[in-house]
């Protein structure tokens, strides 16, 4: 169960498919969001990929740390 919006953002970044800013905005109910800024606040390094004109962000897991999807 997700307790905070920041935890939700972290989970979204750690998904295998990552997330877009639009997906995060819709999930947390915000009008705007800076994914790099939120990732920094969470202490997460991210990778940005442009796939078919869509910017997706992915958490780069520190060594030994699994993504949330891997824990399911």
Q: Tens digit of pLDDT for each residue in 9-57? A: 999 999 999 999 999 999 999 999 999 999 999 999 999 999 999 999 9
Helices (H), 1-72: 5-14, 21-28, 35-42, 68-71
The pLDDT of residue 70 is above 60: no
CA distance 6 to 14: 12
Report the topology of domain 5-65.
Arc Repressor Mutant, subunit A (1.10.10)
The model's pTM: 0.81
Residue 14 pairs in a beta bridge with none
List the chain domain ranges: 5-65
Q: Is 57 within 8 Å of 13 (Cβ atoms)?
A: yes
CA distance 27 to 43: 20
Q: Residue 2's pLDDT is what?
A: 80
Q: Residue 63's pLDDT is what?
A: 47
């Amino acid at each position: 169960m997700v307790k905070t919006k920041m935890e939700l953002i972290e989970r979204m970044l750690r998904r295998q498919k990552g997330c877009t800013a639009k997906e995060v905005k819709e999930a947390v109910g915000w009008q705007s969001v800076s994914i790099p800024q939120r990732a920094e606040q969470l202490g997460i390094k991210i990778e940005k990929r442009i796939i078919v004109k869509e910017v997706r962000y992915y958490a780069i897991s520190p060594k030994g740390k699994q993504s949330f999807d891997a824990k399911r």
